[in-house]
Amino acid sequence: MARERLVAGIDIGTTKTCAILAEQGRSGRLQLIAAGVAPSRGMKKGLVVSLEETSASVQAAVEQCERIAGKRITSAVVSVAGNHIESQNTRGVTTLPNHGHDVTNADLQRALDSARAVSVPPNREIIHVVPRSYVLDGLEGIKNPIGMAGQRLEAEAHIITGAVGSLHNLIKAVRQTGLEIDDLVLQPLASAEAVLTQEERELGGVLVDIGGGTTDVAVFLDGSVWHTSVLPVGGMSVSNDIAICLRTPLAHAEELKVTYGHTDPAVVVDLPPLDVPTFERGHAQPVSRDYLAQIIQARMEEILGMVGNEIRRSGYSGLLGAGVVLTGGVSEQAGIRELSESVLDLPVRLGEPQGLDRLDDRLSGPAFSTAVGLALWAEHNGTTARATTNGNGSFHVPAAAGKAGRWLRSFLP
């Protein structure tokens, strides 16, 4: 029977849930097979606030993806966010037995296990231990020490933790649909997979994914991640502000923002005013374009200011030669690049997902960076999806379960 290497990801965002199925093509590059997108109803600021509604969104996105693919997905990597996420850099040490030998994979694992042994409070769980670099007998900055000789191996790692309750709710919402979770992946790490170039990671670059309810930040330097953070703000705050200031329904505020919005009032000041329906009288009121832009600008400046604080908190703000790459749905807001450059005082480019062949127009926008990044992340980490062909029985049920973190297994019955 033909063996295919499939990867599946589910990005559960605050505004939309996206399921994605991809396979490794003959060229060795990952190719999209199918994707499904459904509105998210049970999420707020990156957190599950309704198990049933989140489950229903996951189910709808996965079913759509399955219908297009003609395959059933039974497991996937799933994105995680929320402001319960915390990160820190640690160092682990191991000695190489028998007065030193060539470093093996098992030695790396021991050093990383020791890095993982930082004190984590009982209400938190480790989501990722990302190896950054190794130190062998005092020689720093080694990316891959396997095969090198030495006696004392240190691993530098970036550790990401989340609150047990929030993680548990996410896992439960997904598993209620009957899907297994191969791994949880932090949203900024997934987006970075799809958007940041290797050069940007080496030179010093910041991934900023501004979605509906969260703003994800990941700072990269020397090829590895140094700082990650999830801020509980996004494009929905902008739409809320517009709805309140203009006394107009939220759906209308959202449409005004996307269709006529700008982050710079001066650019739109001479354009004719808009007719905006109000709650009060039911008839339209004229609203100037620069007033709409002022509302957007004020909230975006606040969000970008918080991003700037995170970049400073990383301690590397002076070393970011490649600047900022902005993605997520909000990166489509007119004028956002210029405003980001002035608030962050760094060069900013807009990033769309790359690295997945056969991406159609629907998925190529910046709102899908996390979903595409999940597939790439699964591919790079050897996580294989479990899927079956519809009707024709199982064709591929490989090793994926072993990849799930030990903490994840501890949640499973």
232 binds Mg ion (CB under 5 A): no
In this structure, what are the phi and psi dihedrals at residue 312, rounded to the nearest 5 degrees?
-65, -40
Query: Exactly one of 54, 333, 340, 383 binds ligand ATP (CB under 6 A); which one?
Result: 333
Sequential DSSP letters for 267-289 = HHTTSPPEEEE-TTTSSEEEE-H
Of 125, 130, 112, 122, the C-alpha closest to 86 is 125
The CA distance from 36 to 64, in Å, is 5
| Smallest separation (angstroms) from Mg ion to the CB of 265 | 28
User: What does the per-residue mask of binding to ligand ATP show for 44-83, with x meaning CB under 6 A?
Assistant: --x----------------------------------x--
DSSP 322-333: TEEEEESGGGGS
Please identify which residue in 145, 265, 329, 353 interacts with ligand ATP, judged by CB under 6 A. Answer: 329
Asked whether 68 and 35 are in contact (CB, 8 A), the reply is yes
Report the nearest approach of ligand ATP to the CB of residue 10 (Å). Answer: 12
Burial of 72 (0-12, 13-18, 19+ CB in 10 A): middle
Residues 408/171, Cβ–Cβ less than 8 Å: yes
Stretches 7-15, 57-65, 145-153, 381-389: which one binds Mg ion (CB under 5 A)?
7-15
Report the b/e string of 231-258 with b at 16+ CB within 10 A: bbbbbbbbbebbbeebebeeebbbebbe
Residue span 193-232 as binding mask against ligand ATP, x where in contact by CB under 6 A, dash where not: ------------------xxxx------------------
Residue 46 near residue 82 (C-beta atoms within 8 A): yes
Q: What is the C-alpha to C-alpha distance for residues 97 and 94, in angstroms, rounded to an integer?
A: 9
Closest approach, Cβ 167 to Mg ion, in A, equals 17
How many residues sit close enough to ligand ATP to count as binding (CB under 6 A)? Answer: 25
Q: Tell which positions 231-290 bind ligand ATP, by CB under 6 A.
A: 234-236, 239, 254, 257-258, 261
Min dist. Cβ of residue 29 to ligand ATP (A): 24
Of residues 9, 13, 188, 204, which one binds ligand ATP by CB under 6 A? Answer: 13
The 100-129 contact track toward ligand ATP, x by CB under 6 A, reads: ------------------------------
Where in 198-217 is the site for Mg ion (CB under 5 A)?
211
Candidates 9, 13, 36, 351: give the one binding Mg ion (CB under 5 A): 13
Angle of helix 51-69 relative to helix 164-175, nearest 10 degrees? 50
Binding site for Mg ion (CB under 5 A): 13, 211, 370
